[in-house]
């Protein structure tokens, strides 16, 4: 902290996981930063959904690291603060890191915002409201070398190893596609993991608007089945049912159209590294957005439950992580997708608590 700064120039913000809360000790400045965070994607505050932890423990090892990668109110705040001329002093886990198995009520980060004339805006900020996760079919063209370099450059200095592969490497692309499809199939035909997703399905505009979290489904077919009472979300669908077949077909078509894959791995897998990985992912996705590229995470093979073990091992081997003892933290499709709108959000007030 700069001692010459007056009391009003020092802002302190506390972000905590428990109950999706943020304590604020500032008024308008943090409101503006938080609004920015709020409009950030899955990586932002509004996506930290502790209910996900309550849906079951089968994929817990995935969800917990995932939480930290999603915990990017920190990252959103850093960009927003710079935009407003504030330097940020971040203390991750100021009261100690959570254990490897569960988060607790201690704060995830303490962030001081200090007015600083030297601070320059980050050009990635301009992409914040344009960035969306595109999960459908991508165009055939391969991302060009300059675009890929911009994505690489965006994570410089962060403790991650970034990998990219494009259609120029046919055999590797085929392996990526196969593991992604196998892992997705495994998730869908494993009743308890399928049910975890069913418990957070939001079908049609009414449910989506009511919850603004979870997994949104808006296709006419699913809505019609749901309206007719033919889609029972309390029962796992049979592997040969039309729901599962339809989901596999859509996913496999998206994979078949994929012109490139992106991944991040890390040497360590502690909470701070996970937080930094989230920061790297946000930055990489914003840099991709600036290049007109979309990303779509493929988390199934990275999850740590027994049925995924073979796919987990396969993807770690394919990406060179196994031999280096790295953990693959993010694995995504990368390509040119058509323009889409933002995913639902719960709104700022749902996440801010007055201190
Ligand atoms: C760590 C992490 C893993 C994710 N894994 C998946 C995934 O496997 N499949 C998927 O469809 N979305 C996944 N998502 C969610 C999407 O990336 C996206 O954030 C979400 O659908 C909201 O859309 P938006 O990014 O356009 O706001 C993941 C997000 C994060 C941060």
10 Cα to the center of ligand 1, angstroms: 34
State the closest ligand 1 atom to the C-alpha of 296, by its place in the atom list counted from 1.
Answer: 17
pLDDT at 111 over 80: yes
261 Cα to the center of ligand 1, angstroms: 15
State the closest ligand 1 atom to the C-alpha of 135, by its place in the atom list counted from 1.
Answer: 11
343 Cα to the center of ligand 1, angstroms: 10
CB 68 within 8 A of CB 280: no
State the closest ligand 1 atom to the C-alpha of 340, by its place in the atom list counted from 1.
Answer: 26
Q: Where are the beta strands (DSSP E) in 65-137?
A: 86-92, 107-115
Q: Which strand (E) or helix (H) includes residue 354?
A: strand 352-354
| Phi-psi category of residue 157: left, alpha or beta, with phi > 0 → left and psi -120 to 50 → alpha | left
**Atom 12 of ligand 1 has which residue's CA nearest to it?**
297
**Atom 22 of ligand 1 has which residue's CA nearest to it?**
42
Q: So what's the pLDDT on residue 102?
A: 72
The tokens of 176 are what?
């990526």
**Atom 14 of ligand 1 has which residue's CA nearest to it?**
297
Please write the tens of the pLDDT for every residue from 274-299: 888 988 999 999 999 999 999 999 99
* 2-6, 65-69, 302-306, 330-334: range with lowest mean pLDDT: 2-6
pLDDT at 53 over 80: no
295 Cα to the center of ligand 1, angstroms: 9
pLDDT higher at 222 or 35:
222
DSSP one-letter code for 335: E
pLDDT class for 354, splitting at 50, 70, 90? low
Of 67, 44, 50, nearest to 342 by C-alpha is 44
pLDDT at 35 over 70: no
118 Cα to the center of ligand 1, angstroms: 35
| Alpha helix stretches (DSSP H) within the chain | 28-39, 51-54, 60-70, 73-83, 145-153, 170-189, 191-198, 204-211, 220-227, 242-256, 271-290, 309-318, 321-324
pLDDT class for 348, splitting at 50, 70, 90? low
- A 10 A CB-CB count for 114 gives 18
299 Cα to the center of ligand 1, angstroms: 9
pTM here is 0.84
Lining ligand 1 with CB less than 6 A are 41-43, 66, 69-70, 132-133, 135, 297-300, 342-343
**Atom 31 of ligand 1 has which residue's CA nearest to it?**
70
Q: So what's the pLDDT on residue 73?
A: 61
Please write the tens of the pLDDT for every residue from 58-68: 343 344 444 44
Please write the tens of the pLDDT for every residue from 173-203: 999 999 999 999 999 999 999 999 999 999 9
Q: So what's the pLDDT on residue 162?
A: 98
* 205-209, 250-254, 257-261: range with lowest mean pLDDT: 205-209
């Amino acid at each position: 902290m700069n001692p010459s700064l007056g009391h009003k120039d020092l802002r302190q913000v506390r972000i905590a996981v428990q109950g999706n809360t943020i304590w604020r000790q500032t008024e308008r400045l943090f409101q503006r930063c938080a609004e920015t965070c709020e409009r950030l994607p899955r990586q932002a505050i509004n996506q930290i959904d502790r209910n996900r932890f309550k849906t079951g423990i089968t994929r817990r090892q995935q969800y917990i690291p995932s939480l930290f990668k999603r915990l990017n109110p920190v990252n959103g705040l850093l960009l927003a603060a710079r935009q407003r001329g504030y330097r940020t002093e971040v203390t991750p886990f100021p009261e100690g890191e959570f254990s490897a198995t569960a988060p607790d009520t201690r704060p995830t980060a303490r962030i001081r915002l200090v007015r600083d004339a030297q601070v320059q805006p980050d050009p990635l900020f301009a992409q914040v409201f344009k960035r969306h996760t595109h999960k459908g079919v991508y165009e055939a063209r391969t991302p060009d070398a300059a675009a890929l370099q911009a994505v690489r450059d965006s994570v410089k200095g962060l403790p991650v190893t970034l990998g990219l592969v494009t259609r120029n490497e046919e055999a590797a692309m085929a392996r990526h596609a196969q593991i992604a499809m196998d892992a997705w199939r495994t998730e869908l035909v494993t009743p308890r993991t399928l049910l975890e997703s069913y418990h957070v399905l939001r079908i049609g505009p009414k449910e989506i608007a009511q919850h603004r979290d979870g997994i949104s489904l808006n296709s006419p077919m699913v809505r019609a089945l749901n309206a007719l009472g033919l889609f029972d979300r309390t029962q796992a669908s049979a592997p040969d049912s039309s729901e599962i077949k339809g989901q596999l077909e859509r996913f496999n078509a998206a994979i078949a159209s994929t012109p490139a894959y992106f991944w991040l791995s890390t040497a360590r897998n502690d909470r701070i590294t996970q937080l930094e990985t989230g920061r790297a992912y946000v930055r990489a996705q914003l840099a991709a957005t600036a290049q007109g590229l979309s990303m779509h995470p493929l988390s199934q093979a990275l999850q740590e439950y027994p049925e995924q073990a073979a796919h987990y091992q396969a993807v770690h081997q394919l990406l060179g992580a196994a031999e280096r003892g790295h953990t693959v933290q993010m694995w995504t499709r990368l390509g040119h997708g058509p323009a889409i709108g933002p995913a639902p959000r719960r709104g700022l007030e749902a996440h801010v608590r007055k201190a």
